C-alpha cells in the first residue's frame, strides 16, 4: 500500500513537471521561464557597454533578472495549475540564477581576457580558455550575491515589494564587494551612463555607485510593472518609460565648455609588444618619438606646451639606463617643457627600506633642465599580469609575468610637481578604482593624468571600456583628465567626462590636448565611497530585520 502510494505520488509529480516546465538540474527546481528571463537580462547587460555600447538599454537591462528572481518557482506543491502565480526564488535558487547571469555577462564583456592570456601571456588556447572561464566563475559570484540577497528579502508577506525597493541597494552592495574583495570593478552598471553629462553630476557626490543605484531604480519599476495586476501595469510602465526617457535626455543638455588655459602634448607611441629588442630598433624608436614630440602633426615647430606625456608601453625604457635618460633629458631641454614618460623604475621612489633590485612600473618626470625630479610607481598592480598573488602557492603562474612583467608595488599616491602643476598620475587600470583615483586630488592634484598601454587588449572593445571608466574619474573629482595611450585612443577629457580632443587608434601620432588646472574638491573626493557603504549598512539592517520578523512569528 505504501509502495502504491509512492508510485502514485511519483506519477503525479512527473505529470506536474510536464505541465509546469521546471529545470531540475542540480536539484534547484527553477521554472524554465526564469531561465529565459535570466538569459535575456545577461544579453542586455552585455550590450550596454562598449562595444557595441547600447547604453540606453541600461534602464531595462536588469529588469528581466529581477522578474526571474521573483518568479522562479511554483508554490510548495508541484500539483498546481499553470495559471498559479510563480513564487520568488529561494535564497539558493536566487544565487544560482544570478550567478549564471554573471558568468554570461563576464564572458560577453571581458572576452578579451582570452586573447590577452593567449597572445601576450603565452598560454596555449585550452589553458587561456580555462583562465577566462575561471575568471568568469569568480567574478560572477557578485551577481550571485545580489541574487541571494534579493531572494532572501523576497520571502514572506509583502516580500516582492520589499525586494524591489531594496534591489538598487543590493546591487550597489554587490558592486562594492567586487571592488573591495576581488579588486576588479570592471564596467559597474553606472558606467553605462558615462556619456550623460547631466546625469553624471550625481557622481560628484556618490561616485559611480550613485549612477548604478539610479539605473537600478528604473529597472525595479519596470520589473514591478510585470509583477502586479494588469490594471496597474499600464501606469507603472508609463512611469518607468517616462523616468528612463527623462534621465536619458540629460545627455543632450550639454553643460558649458570647461575653461582651459594650458595645452599638453600627448604622444601616442604605438609601440608593438615584442621580444628581442635590438639596439638599432631601440634607438630608432627613440628617434621617432623624439621627432614627433618636437614636430607634432598639425602643430607648429617650436610650439610651446605645458607638458609632454609619453604613455605606458611595452618598450624597455629604464629610467636608470643612461642612453634612455640622455634622450629624454635632451628632449625636455630642447622643448623647454616638463616631460612625463612611462618607463621602468628600478630604485624605490619612496623613503622605505626596499631593496634597489626591485622593479616598478613607473612614470618619470623630467624637468626642462633635463633632470629626473620625481617618479610615480604604480601602486595597484594587475594580478597575474604584473605580479603573482599567493606566489608561494602558485609558483607555476610565473610563466605569465615572465611574458608581461614582474613588478613591485609602489608606496605613494602623492601628486608629482611639474613646475607648479601638481599631476595626479595613474597607470593603466588603476583608473578603474574610484576610491583610489581620488587620492591624488585629495592631496592637491590640479589635473589627472592616466598613462596606459591598451595594446594588450588587441582589437577587442576593452580599450573603449577602459576609457569609459577612466572618464568617470574626471567627473567624480571635478578635474581635467589627460589620457595618454600606446595604441589609442589618446584623449583630453573635461571635468564633465566629455572627450574634447582625441586621436585615432593604432597610429604613431601626437595630440595637442587642452586642459586647465583646477582647485577645490568635490564631496566624493573628500569622502570617497560613503554612499556605497551606506547602501551596505541599510542592506544589512534590512536583512537582519527580515530574519528577526520571521523568528518572532
The catalytic site residues sit at 312, 378, 428
Write b or e for each residue in 264-283: b if 16 or more Cβ atoms lie within 10 A of its Cβ, otherwise e.
bbbbbbbbebeeeeeeeebe
Give the separation between CA 41 and CA 238, rounded to whole angstroms: 21
30, burial (CB in 10 Å: exposed 0-12, middle 13-18, buried 19+)? buried
Bridge partners, residue 502, by sequence: 491
> C-alpha dihedral over 310, 311, 312, 315, to 10 degrees?
-50
Angle between helices 208-225 and 63-70 (to 10 degrees): 60
Measure CA of the first residue to CA of the last residue in the chain; give whole Å: 38
- Backbone φ and ψ for 111, nearest 5 degrees, come out as -55, -25
Number of CB atoms found within 10 A of residue 168's CB: 21
DSSP letters of 494-527? -TTS-EEEE--SSS-EEEEEEE----S--HHHHH
Question: Quick one: DSSP state of residue 365?
Answer: E
The H or E element spanning position 18 is helix 2-19
Query: According to DSSP H, which parts of 337-443 are helical?
Result: 398-404, 434-437, 439-442
Which of 180, 179, 198 lies closest to 189, judged by CA? 179
Three cell numbers written together for 57: 538599454
d(CA 358, CA 347): 7
Tell me the C-alpha distance between 545 and 552, whole Å. Answer: 11
Q: Which sign does the torsion angle of CA 522, 525, 526, 529 carry?
A: positive
* Per-residue CA distances from 162 to 152, 153, 156, 318, 402 (Å): 10, 7, 10, 58, 51
Phi, psi of 174 (to 5 degrees): -65, -40
**How far apart (Å, rounded) are the C-alpha atoms in residues 320 and 323?**
9
Residues 6+ apart with CB under 8 A from 62: 41, 44, 45, 171, 189, 215, 216, 219
Amino acid at each position: 500500500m505504501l509502495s502504491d502510494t509512492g508510485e502514485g505520488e511519483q506519477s503525479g509529480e512527473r505529470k506536474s513537471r510536464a505541465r509546469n516546465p521546471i529545470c531540475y538540474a542540480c536539484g534547484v527546481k527553477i521554472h524554465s521561464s526564469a531561465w529565459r528571463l535570466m538569459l535575456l537580462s545577461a544579453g542586455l547587460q552585455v550590450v550596454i557597454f562598449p562595444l557595441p555600447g547600447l547604453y540606453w538599454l541600461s534602464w531595462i537591462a536588469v529588469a528581466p533578472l529581477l522578474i526571474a528572481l521573483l518568479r522562479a518557482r511554483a508554490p510548495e506543491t508541484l500539483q498546481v495549475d499553470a495559471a498559479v502565480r510563480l513564487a520568488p526564488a529561494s535564497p539558493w535558487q536566487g544565487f544560482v540564477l544570478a550567478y549564471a547571469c554573471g558568468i554570461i555577462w563576464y564572458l560577453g564583456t571581458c572576452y578579451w581576457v582570452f586573447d590577452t592570456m593567449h597572445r601576450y601571456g603565452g598560454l596555449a588556447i585550452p589553458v587561456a580558455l580555462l583562465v577566462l572561464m575561471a575568471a568568469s566563475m569568480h567574478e560572477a559570484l557578485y551577481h550571485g550575491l545580489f541574487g541571494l540577497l534579493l531572494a532572501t528579502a523576497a520571502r514572506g508577506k509583502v516580500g516582492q515589494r520589499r525586494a524591489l525597493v531594496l534591489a538598487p541597494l543590493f546591487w550597489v552592495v554587490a558592486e562594492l564587494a567586487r571592488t573591495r574583495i576581488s579588486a576588479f570593478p570592471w564596467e559597474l552598471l553606472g558606467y553605462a551612463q558615462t556619456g550623460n553629462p547631466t546625469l553624471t553630476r550625481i557622481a560628484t557626490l556618490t561616485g559611480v555607485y550613485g549612477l548604478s543605484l539610479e539605473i537600478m531604480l528604473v529597472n525595479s519599476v519596470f520589473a514591478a510593472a510585470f509583477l502586479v495586476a494588469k490594471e496597474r501595469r499600464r501606469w507603472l510602465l508609463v512611469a518607468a518609460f517616462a523616468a528612463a526617457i527623462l534621465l536619458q535626455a540629460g545627455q543632450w543638455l550639454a553643460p558649458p565648455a570647461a575653461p582651459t588655459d594650458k595645452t599638453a602634448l600627448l604622444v601616442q607611441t604605438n609601440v608593438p609588444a615584442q621580444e628581442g629588442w635590438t639596439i638599432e630598433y631601440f634607438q630608432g624608436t627613440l628617434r621617432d618619438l623624439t621627432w614627433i614630440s618636437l614636430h607634432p602633426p598639425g602643430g607648429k615647430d617650436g610650439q610651446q606646451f605645458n607638458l609632454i606625456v609619453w604613455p605606458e608601453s611595452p618598450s624597455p625604457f629604464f629610467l636608470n639606463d643612461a642612453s634612455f635618460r640622455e634622450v629624454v633629458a635632451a628632449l625636455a631641454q630642447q622643448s623647454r617643457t616638463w616631460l612625463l614618460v612611462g618607463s621602468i623604475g628600478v630604485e624605490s621612489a619612496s623613503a622605505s627600506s626596499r631593496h634597489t633590485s626591485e622593479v616598478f612600473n613607473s612614470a618619470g618626470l623630467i624637468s626642462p633642465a633635463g633632470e629626473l625630479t620625481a617618479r610615480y610607481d604604480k601602486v595597484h598592480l594587475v594580478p597575474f599580469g604584473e605580479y603573482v598573488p599567493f606566489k608561494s602557492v602558485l609558483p607555476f603562474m610565473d610563466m605569465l609575468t615572465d611574458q608581461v612583467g614582474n613588478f613591485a608595488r609602489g608606496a605613494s599616491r602623492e601628486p608629482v610637481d611639474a613646475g607648479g602643476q601638481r599631476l595626479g598620475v595613474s597607470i593603466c587600470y588603476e583608473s578603474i578604482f574610484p576610491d583610489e583615483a581620488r587620492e591624488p586630488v585629495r592631496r592637491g592634484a590640479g589635473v589627472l593624468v592616466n598613462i596606459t598601454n591598451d595594446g594588450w587588449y588587441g582589437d577587442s572593445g576593452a580599450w573603449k571600456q577602459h576609457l569609459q571608466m577612466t572618464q568617470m574619474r574626471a567627473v567624480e573629482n571635478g578635474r581635467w583628465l589627460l589620457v595618454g595611450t600606446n595604441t589609442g585612443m589618446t584623449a583630453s577629457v573635461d571635468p564633465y567626462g566629455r572627450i574634447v580632443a582625441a586621436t585615432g587608434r593604432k597610429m604613431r601620432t601626437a595630440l595637442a590636448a587642452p586642459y586647465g588646472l583646477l582647485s577645490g574638491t568635490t564631496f566624493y573626493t573628500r569622502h570617497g565611497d560613503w554612499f556605497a557603504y551606506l547602501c551596505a549598512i541599510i542592506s544589512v539592517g534590512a536583512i537582519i530585520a527580515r530574519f528577526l520578523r520571521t523568528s518572532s512569528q
